[in-house]
Amino acid sequence: MGILQCIKMAFRSIKSNKLRSCLTMLGIIIGVSSVIVLVSMAQGSTTNVTNQINQLGTNLLTVNTFGTDLALTQDKIDQLSKLNGVKAVAPVVSGRVTVKEDRTSSQQSVLATTPDYSSVRNVNVSEGRFITDLDIEYRQKIAVLGSDTAATLFSGNDPVGQNILVNGTSFKVVGVLASKGSSLGSSGDDVVIVPLSTGERLLKQTDINQVYLQGKNENQMDFVQAEVEAKLASMFPNNTDSYTVSNQKDLMDTMSSVTESMTLMLGGIAGISLLVGGIGIMNIMLVSVSERTKEIGIRKAIGAKRRDVLLQFLIESTVLSSMGGIIGIIFGLCLGKILSSAFNMTLSYSSSIMFMAFLFSLAVGVVFGVFPANKASKLNPIQALRYE
């Protein structure tokens, strides 16, 4: 007997027991849709975190030193920038200042840096321009505002070309940064960026204790980090505890291992519900086999082989579970849409997960169908015929 005929027969028997079939499928539907929703949620947060980390700059190394003894002089920064695999460096002096515009006054963090900061930290201006080398050379009193700072001080008016008072000194606003949103708790939009030379004066601090380095290639980052560490060790012998080099990749790895285990955990929990659904299928198939003992007897008497009966019941359970799988995928997608719009969550669907969930539901049907189907196929036709 052909498979197609078996599938037809399976649909028929599922149709003849609609309520029961639906309830049986419900287990698989819930299982598959929860796998899809939960895994999409976990993957959504993974993408979110990855994006946030990438917003901080790509292939980023941060060098921090502590204390005036360990200040990074221009000479040392140049040495670091000449290392293999380093694309750009951006030294930073930071502090807090009072910024005043007309009658609005607020405390802001200020960053004094070089033009390369823009590419190293992946910040772009939405209006005006960023700091240039000339600004540093001539100690220009200019400032680039973060989008939130601009909104606070100018409340919607165009700040470019206007003047602000930073700790009492007049600065001209030349640009506004594009909003990056808050990432990992710190907002990149609440900032005033000034040229390094100007900032050193403003903050009365000539020691540079922080440098951002951008690597040329993502795969070389570990090597570049080792290089930088070796260089620092030669610059500051016997002071290895007084500086740190942190790799953005480390952060990324930590975060991704967290989200990965979250994905696994959520997927696992949902997988258990699929398993429970599978047991439901087995239960119903066993009931079905004993209900249809007479039918099996008749079929065997008129020539059904063991294989025919086995296939009939196996295909029935597989059809049941895979139908549940398909409905579950559709249901999961709908539920995901509702959840993501209702709770403003990022969900990332992957077709591979849907495919996996479907395959798993199919496998559940086969695995939990084998036992009842085998039981049916082994029935003795004489006894089965006598069964009422």
Partner 1 sequence: MSTPIIQIKNLMKTYKIGGETVHALNNVSLEIKKGEFLAIIGPSGSGKSTLMNMLGCLDRPDSGEYLLEGKNIGKMNDNQLASIRNQKIGFIFQNFNLLTKLTALENVELPLLYAGVSAKIRRETAMESLKKVGLADRAAHLPTQLSGGQQQRVAIARALAANPSILLADEPTGALDSRTSKEIMEIMQELNEIGNTIILITHDLTIAKQARRMVSIQDGQLQENGGELLGHFAMH
| Binding region for partner 1 (CB under 8 A) | 1-2, 5, 12-13, 16, 294-295, 297-308, 381-382, 385
Residue 323's Cβ-count burial label (10 Å; 0-12, 13-18, 19+) is: buried
Instruction: Pick between residue 16 and residue 107 the one whose CB is nearest to partner 1.
Output: 16
Q: Assess contact for 210 and 175: CB atoms under 8 A.
A: no
Closest to 56 (Cα-Cα) out of 258, 252, 253: 252
d(CA 37, CA 347): 8
d(CA 220, CA 265): 32
d(CA 227, CA 221): 10
Closest to 184 (Cα-Cα) out of 48, 24, 19, 370: 48
Helix (H, G, I), strand (E, B) or coil at 4: helix
Instruction: Pick between residue 232 and residue 320 the one whose CB is nearest to partner 1.
Output: 320
In this structure, the strands spanning 169-177 and 163-166 are: antiparallel
Instruction: Pick between residue 82 and residue 294 the one whose CB is nearest to partner 1.
Output: 294
d(CA 102, CA 164): 8
d(CA 363, CA 284): 17
Q: What is the dihedral of CA 214, 220, 226, 231, to 10 degrees?
A: -50
